[in-house]
Structure 1
Amino acid sequence: MSRSPDLAALTDRSPHGIAGAFGRAIRSGELAPGERLPTVREVAVELGVSPATVSAAWQALRRTGVVVSRGRAGTFVQETPRPWLSPRQRGLVGASLGGLRMDLSRGTPDPELLPSLGPAFGRVSARAGTGVYQDEPVLPQLRSVLEATWPYDAEVITVVDGATDGVARVLEQCVRLGDRVALESPGYPPFLDLVESLGAEIVPMAMDAAGVRPESLRAALDARPVALVLQPRAQNPTGISMSPERAQVLADVLARRRHQSVPLIVEDDHSGAISTSPDVSLGTFLPERVVHVRSFSKSHGPDLRIAALGGPAEVLDPLVARRMLGPGWTSRMVQTILHDLLTQARSMDEVSEARRQYFGRQRDLVARLAEQGMELGTPDGINLWLPVYDERAALLHLAAAGIRVAGGTPFFPGAESAPHIRITSGLVDPEHAAEVATAVAAAAVEDRP
């Protein structure tokens, strides 16, 4: 049996107003996951509007992932989707994208700005490699390129199957049930879920425009975390890049705690070559306690599934040894392709152009938002973090306009969070910047008294 929120006092009976009313009912729990919504005709009769108006409201709810259509069975409040995803990742994934004009929710690079893989494939042997299982897991020529560009002198450099794989393997080595791990807040949802899945407690660290706040780091250290995870450049979701001066201050804060054990510091440089900021690392000051992770997903392609790790031997040697009892090594064919992409002039130029394009897109969208009265700093990388008055209302408003963005709630470790949205602004080309800015500015103040 279907239920409906109290619609008698609803003044805005447009598709957007109707979608907002049902969205609030779902958010408050008045309509539970899996519950069937009333039919289009029932709502149309109750509100005195046309069925087409209600259908448009249902489409907006589907676009934002709040409800799902099951054909003749009706429209239902979305239940937990995709059981293979961790809890906060599920919060970032909506229903079918049918009807959307722009999906700016994914945090993924523009496929058109990735370097062409054709030439690299052409220079890789047509046959799979025949190295023995016990061969060194990193190609020497790739290691040489990585060492030459690493932000500090790392004792060991190896490769794994993507940045999240690297961070997970490091934390799995040092985090035990009941431990504490310091994470940025807001931060990357899979890291929040990972720490909780290990049975550890999250210690949040607040940020400002230069990175983690020193006083927040001091407070986090008082909780004696065994590890802390930082994103030094193009932090996801905020786009903040740590300044060299802040890196020095944070390193000083950590160094003064030597009467305690200094936690292991894991740095996720996920945007790498498309970042416009300096390659900053606390490893410059504390190389014996820092594992720096450099991803090539944003710059060279997510499906390459390769990232580099550099850090102390006491941390990385056991990690490499453990991998030899599992996947063994990251495909040497993929390593060869990455080496080609990092050394060939054409692909290097393509990545440089992508970095320039992303910076221009961020700057253009921020400028257009300023014209709408929203003053923001230009972020690094491909994401824009924006405060809104009501998160769910903003998501519904943008979905009604055919634009999907990510809600901010999954990026916070606790239940209490300031309402935000994350926009993958790196996908917004100049031709659409004004349109997106107008829709975003309207959504940001939606439901404000």
Structure 2
Amino acid sequence: MIELIVGAVEKKTPEAIAAAVSRLIRSGGIASGDRLPTVRELAGALGVSPATVSNAWQALAGVGLITSRGRAGSFVLHASTTWMPTHFAELAGSHVEARLDLSSGTPDPNLLPSLEAALARVPARADTSSYLNQRVLPELERHLRAAWPYSPESITILDGALDAVSRSLEMVVRYGDRVIVEDPGFPPFFDLIEQLGAERVPVAMDMQGMRPDALAIALGTNPAAIVLQNRAHNPTGASMTRERAEQLVRVLKAHSHVTDPVIIEDDHSGEISSMPAISLGSWLPHRVLHIRSYAKSHGPDLRIGALGGPAALLNPIVARRMLGPGWTSRMLQVILYELLTAPSSVAEVALARDTYAARQRALQAALARRGLAIEASDGINAWLPVHDERSAMVALAASGIRVAAGTSFQASLGPGGAEPGAGASGAAGAAPASRQFVRVTAGLVESDAEEVAGLLAAAALGESAA
């Protein structure tokens, strides 16, 4: 193992040593439970002082990658997320607590609407009239159609956005197919594509959405599907503009004689997004499956979302689901309908939307005052450029702040930031690989924006927070 670590170390500083060992752990070169070399052994092999290696070990322990067992030595911590898919597990973060966890990508629980009134509307007894009864409550479907960004032929209810994306991909993607994804994008999408035996085709994006020039190149791979996030993109906070949507539609139509992929849109933050809903379904209704989730706005544990699109695509998804869960509980659908329509709940969600927007602006302004300019983000996440991802995460962990590693979201990279393997084609129009980022859940930064911005900026720029 010593030779492996020595070969991976690029600079003989505590930060560089820690970063090298971190990469080896995340790539599987060093396994969970492995005993690391002693401080003196590795110091001798590297030609550095024991204090240098000791500081590196402390940094790795600070972010929860290793633990010291006294005289027994230092060991790589066993991941507590072995049941998770590879890319999804990377979002689980470290094994230690932080005073401020900005790595989660989850909403502020204090900004979720109260369930009390909605729960009071749930029937005292469950509906047992028929297993083949209506899949969607009529009043809920009417409300969804009125709020949809275009008029879909059919709508159904599923168990959240990821369930809807999964079932959509399973219907249209076969082994060996290619699927276009945003770069950066949402890691669980990468897991889904890999589990289907398909190949992801990364397409670069900017703060208006997927880049048309990059999409045009990617369409040359004859993809079976395109997965994109319309609003409050995770991780960047970008929201697609109408102008960008029209540009993408022109590109898709220009290539329709060559390829006709199904477009799966994940509007996961809908009700807390400050931007209007834009869907390619307004121009291409026969090709678009549009998903609206309520996890960020009304509560992740509700596990409920809506899927709309052409009956030819939606009916097979509904039919296959009848052989599994069958339908989403109509009791849950009652709760969602009440949350979407009750004046008190509507007001609470509107307050949450305004609060998240204010927190994003406050953090952005505070970072700008410290020489770190980032583009305005929608929703709860912000994409922060850093000089060195691993060093920034270690520095922030030392200050009690956790953020998510940017490499986890980069579709042109493999797990742990490795070069693309069999599961990913080269990115179309990708940003230079030297650019590094971390994802910050800005929506959780309340009244301490100035302090947090100071720590974020110092870590991002590789400076001392003092």
TM-score w.r.t. length of structure 1: 0.90
After superposition, the Cα gap between the structure-2 partners of 1:245 and 1:349, relative to the gap in structure 1 and judged at 3 Å, is same
- The farther-off stretch of 102-111 and 66-75 is 66-75
Is this contact kept in 1: 2:184–2:204, CA < 8 A?
yes
- The farther-off stretch of 196-205 and 362-371 is 196-205
Q: Secondary structure at the match of 2:384?
A: strand
Which amino acid in the other structure matches residue 439 of structure 2? R
Is this contact kept in 2: 1:138–1:158, CA < 8 A?
yes
Is this contact kept in 1: 2:203–2:211, CA < 8 A?
yes
Q: 1:203 aligns with which of 201, 204, 215?
A: 201
Is this contact kept in 1: 2:18–2:57, CA < 8 A?
no
Q: Secondary structure at the match of 1:395?
A: helix
**1:368-420 deviation line (CA, Å, top 9, x unaligned):** 10011011121001001011111111111110110000001111123354321
After superposition, the Cα gap between the structure-2 partners of 1:57 and 1:159, relative to the gap in structure 1 and judged at 3 Å, is same
After superposition, the Cα gap between the structure-2 partners of 1:348 and 1:38, relative to the gap in structure 1 and judged at 3 Å, is same
Which amino acid in the other structure matches residue 296 of structure 1? Y
Deviation of 1:237 after TM superposition, in Å, equals 0.5
- Residue 450 of structure 2 corresponds to 434
Matching of residue 421 in structure 1 with residue 438 in structure 2? yes
- Residue 18 of structure 2 corresponds to 22
2: distance between equivalents of 1:411 and 1:121?
37
Deviation of 1:19 after TM superposition, in Å, equals 6.0
Is this contact kept in 1: 2:161–2:293, CA < 8 A?
yes
- Residue 310 of structure 1 corresponds to 308
Give the alignment of 1:100-139 within 5 angstroms: 100-139=98-137
Is this contact kept in 1: 2:181–2:201, CA < 8 A?
yes
- Residue 180 of structure 1 corresponds to 178
Which amino acid in the other structure matches residue 134 of structure 1? L
- The farther-off stretch of 326-335 and 411-420 is 411-420
Give the alignment of 1:289-308 within 5 angstroms: 289-308=287-306
Q: Secondary structure at the match of 1:276?
A: coil
Q: 1:234 aligns with which of 232, 235, 249?
A: 232
Which amino acid in the other structure matches residue 445 of structure 1? L
Deviation of 1:87 after TM superposition, in Å, equals 0.9
Which amino acid in the other structure matches residue 183 of structure 1? V
Which amino acid in the other structure matches residue 348 of structure 1? V
2: distance between equivalents of 1:222 and 1:43?
49
After superposition, the Cα gap between the structure-2 partners of 1:122 and 1:23, relative to the gap in structure 1 and judged at 3 Å, is same
Which amino acid in the other structure matches residue 454 of structure 2? T
Q: Secondary structure at the match of 2:162?
A: helix
**1:271-298 deviation line (CA, Å, top 9, x unaligned):** 0100001100000000010010000000
Deviation of 1:3 after TM superposition, in Å, equals 9.6
Which amino acid in the other structure matches residue 209 of structure 2? G
2: distance between equivalents of 1:388 and 1:43?
28
1: distance between equivalents of 2:342 and 2:453?
38
Deviation of 1:23 after TM superposition, in Å, equals 3.4
After superposition, the Cα gap between the structure-2 partners of 1:85 and 1:251, relative to the gap in structure 1 and judged at 3 Å, is same
Is this contact kept in 2: 1:181–1:227, CA < 8 A?
yes
2: distance between equivalents of 1:394 and 1:40?
23
2: distance between equivalents of 1:132 and 1:337?
20
Q: 2:395 aligns with which of 371, 394, 397?
A: 397
**1:345-368 deviation line (CA, Å, top 9, x unaligned):** 000000000000000000000001
- The farther-off stretch of 257-266 and 235-244 is 257-266
After superposition, the Cα gap between the structure-2 partners of 1:48 and 1:260, relative to the gap in structure 1 and judged at 3 Å, is closer
1: distance between equivalents of 2:117 and 2:325?
28
Deviation of 1:445 after TM superposition, in Å, equals 2.3
Is this contact kept in 2: 1:229–1:266, CA < 8 A?
yes
Deviation of 1:41 after TM superposition, in Å, equals 9.9
Q: 1:192 aligns with which of 190, 193, 200?
A: 190
Deviation of 1:181 after TM superposition, in Å, equals 0.5
1: distance between equivalents of 2:301 and 2:354?
22
Is this contact kept in 2: 1:24–1:392, CA < 8 A?
no
After superposition, the Cα gap between the structure-2 partners of 1:367 and 1:325, relative to the gap in structure 1 and judged at 3 Å, is same
1: distance between equivalents of 2:68 and 2:295?
34
2: distance between equivalents of 1:389 and 1:44?
26
Q: Secondary structure at the match of 1:308?
A: strand
Equivalenced residue count is 437
Give the alignment of 1:3-22 within 5 angstroms: 18=14, 21-22=17-18
Contiguous gaps of at least 5 residues in structure 2: 414-418, 420-432
Is this contact kept in 2: 1:139–1:332, CA < 8 A?
yes
Which amino acid in the other structure matches residue 153 of structure 1? S
2: distance between equivalents of 1:285 and 1:10?
51
Q: Secondary structure at the match of 2:264?
A: strand
Is this contact kept in 1: 2:388–2:436, CA < 8 A?
yes
Which amino acid in the other structure matches residue 110 of structure 1? D
Which amino acid in the other structure matches residue 260 of structure 1? V
Is this contact kept in 1: 2:265–2:289, CA < 8 A?
yes
After superposition, the Cα gap between the structure-2 partners of 1:341 and 1:262, relative to the gap in structure 1 and judged at 3 Å, is same
Contiguous gaps of at least 5 residues in structure 1: none
Is this contact kept in 1: 2:203–2:214, CA < 8 A?
yes
- The farther-off stretch of 301-310 and 128-137 is 128-137
After superposition, the Cα gap between the structure-2 partners of 1:155 and 1:400, relative to the gap in structure 1 and judged at 3 Å, is same
1: distance between equivalents of 2:86 and 2:135?
33
Deviation of 1:130 after TM superposition, in Å, equals 2.4
**1:154-176 deviation line (CA, Å, top 9, x unaligned):** 00000100100001101001101
- The farther-off stretch of 77-86 and 29-38 is 29-38
Q: Secondary structure at the match of 1:288?
A: coil
Deviation of 1:197 after TM superposition, in Å, equals 1.2
Matching of residue 356 in structure 1 with residue 372 in structure 2? no
1: distance between equivalents of 2:342 and 2:59?
46
Is this contact kept in 2: 1:323–1:329, CA < 8 A?
yes
Q: Secondary structure at the match of 2:286?
A: helix
- Residue 423 of structure 2 corresponds to none
Give the alignment of 1:28-177 within 5 angstroms: 32-33=30-31, 34-37=33-36, 47=49, 60-68=59-67, 73-98=72-97, 100-177=98-175
